[in-house]
Amino acid sequence: MTKISLINPPSPFLISDTVMPPLGLMYLSSNIKVNIDNNHDINNDDVKIIDLAVNKDFKIPDNCDMYAFTSTTPQYNITLSIMKKLKSKNQQSTFVIGGAHASCFSEECRKDGFDCVVIGEGERSIIDIYNFVTKHKKDNSFIRGIIRSRQIQNIDTIQFPDRTFDGYNKYKYILNEEKCATMITSRGCPFKCSFCCNMWGNTVRLRSSENVLQEVKQIKSSGTNAIQFYDDTFTVNKKRVEEICKGLKEMIITWRCFIHTNTIDLKLLETMKNSGCVEVGIGVESGNQEILNNINKKIEINKVIKICNDCHTIGLRIKTFLIIGLPGESHKSVDDTIKFLKLANPDDYDYSIYTPFPRTDIWDNTNKYDIKFDKETLNYSKMFYKGIYGNYQSQVSTSNLSIEDIEKLRNYIDNDIRRELYDKKYR
């Protein structure tokens, strides 16, 4: 009998939900398998990742000791529906939820019937919960509630993600025509943007370069030669990046990562390019400096333009990430974003509609920002990133732009301006 089912719900609102495998559950799986108390006689076959993104018709086994879900906020209604169906047939089982939604909406998850809601990283908490459940099978009420995870300070001690589960090979992330794996080499972000719900905190914990390269070697041995480093900011520590680059170059790895304006320079970009990096992504949010100042972004738009130009000079692709509907958004600020795109001329960009989340400064102090939204009626199933065109909705407005204005301007920049930039670059 499977004792623990780790469940990844589908994301039908996305353009494709078979691009990014569920790294969070993959970490849980590998760490459970090596850390559960031996007294419980658990083996690898007792821990299963049930990935409903790539195996949509998979039948989830009954009578598990524990069902543990990961969920983003747009996924949550689907996650909740799956949980309720399972719970109606498995009254003695323990139902756990973690991931981004649980960290932002822990009280809601608890009220909706999840026995345990894990805030933050779950590798230790899931083991603590399982050990308690197996010792108190007749009464698991003692472990019900909201659990704020202890941070793992030395993240080199965390097992590498489990890439052996059924369905992993169905994921299709391609980088430079190579099948691409995903990795995280740090936890936490040193910046404090007012729109961000940072579940890992503002203290950055870095894996050593040796530990990172061990995982890269493991990935390469399976036949994968491309990697997306999914850290919020891969370039926090220059020396570590240089050490990692040396190893990546020796292994002949194609790779991509996210950078920050304040942690990068031309020399480091050249080092990355020479080691196999083919693209970087950078969070810009807006082309208007006043909006950037208001959201505590701590960047200067002219520096971002220089970074884009530097990337073009050395032949490195750059993708920018932008948000419409931030506090203070106006026709002028949107025009500034268009000007930025034309000056920076990124190889690609994403332009998403601002989604307000709890545990952010904008949410907690709405009165000091030029932004309007109804906390009680937000429909997160219509607010997502990389979703199917036309299915998303704005649910925020500013003193200068209505909900409808924001949606129209988003579509204009994502379509008309994108075509204009493409024509300028390739014709």
Rg (CA), the chain: 22
Bridge partners of 50, per DSSP, are: 7
pLDDT at 141 over 60: no
Q: Among 164-168, 213-217, 224-228, where is mean pLDDT lowest?
A: 164-168
Distance between CA atoms of 177 and 82, rounded to whole angstroms?
36
Contact 346, 319 (CB under 8 A): yes
Q: Token match 């050249």: residue?
A: 270
pLDDT at 322 over 90: yes
> Higher-confidence residue: 45 or 123?
123
Give the model's confidence band at 279: pLDDT under 50 very low, under 70 low, under 90 confident, else very high. very high
Distance between CA atoms of 102 and 90, rounded to whole angstroms?
22
CB neighbours of residue 419 within 10 Å: 10
Contact 59, 31 (CB under 8 A): no
CATH numbers and ranges of domains, the chain:
4-148 (3.40.50), 173-426 (3.20.20.70)
pLDDT at 309 over 90: yes
Degrees, nearest 5: CA angle 310-339-198: 70
Residue 258, SS3 per DSSP: strand
Degrees, nearest 5: CA angle 222-282-284: 155
Mean pLDDT for the chain overall: 92
Contact 391, 20 (CB under 8 A): no
pLDDT at 137 over 80: no
CA distances to 117, 189, 301, 321, 409 from 352, rounded to whole Å, are 29, 21, 19, 8, 11
pLDDT digits (tens, 9 = 90+) for 350-370: 999 999 999 999 999 999 999
pLDDT at 297 over 80: yes
- 180, containing H or E segment: strand 178-183
pLDDT digits (tens, 9 = 90+) for 234-243: 999 999 999 9
pLDDT at 126 over 80: yes
Quote the pTM value: 0.93
Query: 123-135 and 23-35 are packed helices; what angle lies between their axes, rounded to 10 degrees?
Result: 50
pLDDT for 41 equals 59
pLDDT for 248 equals 98
Closest Cα to residue 321, out of 264, 279, 263, 282?
Answer: 282
Instruction: Determine how β-strand 205-206 pairs with β-strand 186-187.
Output: antiparallel
Give the model's confidence band at 40: pLDDT under 50 very low, under 70 low, under 90 confident, else very high. low
Distance between CA atoms of 54 and 26, rounded to whole angstroms?
14
pLDDT for 29 equals 95
- H-type alpha helices, 183-285: 209-221, 238-251, 266-274
pLDDT for 42 equals 67
CA distances to 213, 233, 330, 393, 401 from 398, rounded to whole Å, are 46, 30, 8, 15, 5
In degrees rounded to 5, what are phi and psi of residue 85?
A: -65, -40
| Averaged pLDDT, 267-280 | 98
Distance between CA atoms of 67 and 381, rounded to whole angstroms?
23
CA distances to 32, 94, 225 from 128, rounded to whole Å, are 10, 13, 36
| Averaged pLDDT, 379-402 | 86
Residue 298, classified by CB atoms within 10 Å of its CB into exposed (0-12), middle (13-18) or buried (19+), is middle
CA distances to 8, 140, 231 from 379, rounded to whole Å, are 21, 33, 28
Residue 296, classified by CB atoms within 10 Å of its CB into exposed (0-12), middle (13-18) or buried (19+), is middle
